[in-house]
Chains A and B, each alone.
Chain A
Amino acid sequence: MAALEVGRVCMKVAGREAGKYCVVLKKLDNTFFLVTGPKQLTGVKRRRCNVEHLEPTSYSLKIDTEAPDELVIKAYDAIGLTKKLSLRLPSPEVMKEVEKKVKEIPKVEKPKEEKKPEKPKKEEKKPEKKPEEKVEKKEEKPKEKKGITLKFKIPTFGRKKPKEEKKAEKKPEKPKKEEKKPEKNPVKKPEKAAKKAKKKK
């Protein structure tokens, strides 16, 4: 077993990139490494990778930490690893694109470590502020609510009351209708009965 150092060629053993080769660029933690194929050569993109997903080979490249993809590809070719591992060198058009990308985005994943300590501080501050604000708001809100709720309650009561009144008005009306219905029904029934009788005939 060869040690995992910068420039060590590894095989990825897990996931969709399993069976593909990559190069170690940097050690991030005890568990994680920064790794590239590069993507144009082997298909593994520049990304963080768990140690258990890497199987080190006996080959190693001479590169610096966080070397750009363009230099890594040249390092592969210098040792003759591309023939051994049967890798295809990307076409010159693709290589130009790689060089452009390297100039645009040189560094990866550095700011994360710096940001992490800052975030929890903010989170600690926020909960301290929030309860104070909440307490104040709670004290304020009910005062506001009293004013607001009164304003809202009045119309709601006003809306509800007419409904109640309508209902109250309707209720006495219904029995009237019921009184009417028995009058109508005897009129309708004989008609229907007459129609049925006609149909039967």
Chain B
Amino acid sequence: MVRPKLRSRSLRRKKVRTPGNKLIVRYEDRKPKITKCAICKKPLQGVPRLNPTDLRKLAKTKRRPERPYGGNLCSSCMRDLLRKNLIKIEKI
């Protein structure tokens, strides 16, 4: 039996073939889901798919695109939002 810690199903099991031609099971953390646009649900570019511990090691500029709503909205949805906001501002 494996260690009780590794019996948890929250870990991903990856089969690896060793140089000695053995099959081994490795236990890894599961990957988080792909980040998606909050409005159109399309997958976002420029957002790495890493666990939060690994994300913290990156520079802040590498975690998300550097524009308003970067990492939450795709660029086209962000443009539409800004245009809608402009119309509101002009009415006031």
Residues of A within 8 A of B (CB): 11, 13-16, 18-19, 55, 57-58, 84-85
- In the complex, which residues of chain B have a beta carbon less than 8 angstroms from the beta carbon of A13? 79, 82-83
- Measured CB to CB, the closest approach of chain B to A1, in angstroms, equals 11
A58 to B90, CA, bound (A): 7
Closest residue of chain A to B89 (Cβ to Cβ) is A85
Residues of B within 8 A of A (CB): 66-68, 75, 78-79, 82-83, 86, 89-90, 92
A84 to B89, CA, bound (A): 8
When A and B form their complex, what is the total count of cross-chain residue pairs whose Cβ atoms lie within 8 Å? Answer: 27
- In the complex, which residues of chain B have a beta carbon less than 8 angstroms from the beta carbon of A57? 86, 90
> A55 with B82: in contact, given A14-B75, A85-B89 (CB under 8 Å)?
yes
Contact in complex: B90, A15 (CB < 8 Å): no
- Measured CB to CB, the closest approach of chain A to B88, in angstroms, equals 12
- In the complex, which residues of chain A have a beta carbon less than 8 angstroms from the beta carbon of B90? 57-58
Closest residue of chain A to B85 (Cβ to Cβ) is A19
Contact in complex: A11, B82 (CB < 8 Å): yes
- In the complex, which residues of chain B have a beta carbon less than 8 angstroms from the beta carbon of A14? 67, 75, 79
- In the complex, which residues of chain B have a beta carbon less than 8 angstroms from the beta carbon of A84? 89, 92
Closest residue of chain A to B65 (Cβ to Cβ) is A16
- In the complex, which residues of chain A have a beta carbon less than 8 angstroms from the beta carbon of B82? 11, 13, 18-19, 55
- In the complex, which residues of chain A have a beta carbon less than 8 angstroms from the beta carbon of B92? 84
Q: List 27 A-B contacts (CB under 8 A).
A: A11-B82, A11-B86, A13-B79, A13-B82, A13-B83, A14-B67, A14-B75, A14-B79, A15-B67, A16-B66, A16-B67, A18-B67, A18-B68, A18-B78, A18-B79, A18-B82, A19-B68, A19-B82, A55-B82, A55-B83, A55-B86, A57-B86, A57-B90, A58-B90, A84-B89, A84-B92, A85-B89
- In the complex, which residues of chain A have a beta carbon less than 8 angstroms from the beta carbon of B78? 18
Closest 10 CB pairs between A and B? A13-B79, A19-B68, A16-B66, A18-B67, A16-B67, A18-B68, A11-B86, A13-B82, A58-B90, A19-B82
A13 to B83, CA, bound (A): 8
A84 to B79, CA, bound (A): 21
- In the complex, which residues of chain B have a beta carbon less than 8 angstroms from the beta carbon of A15? 67
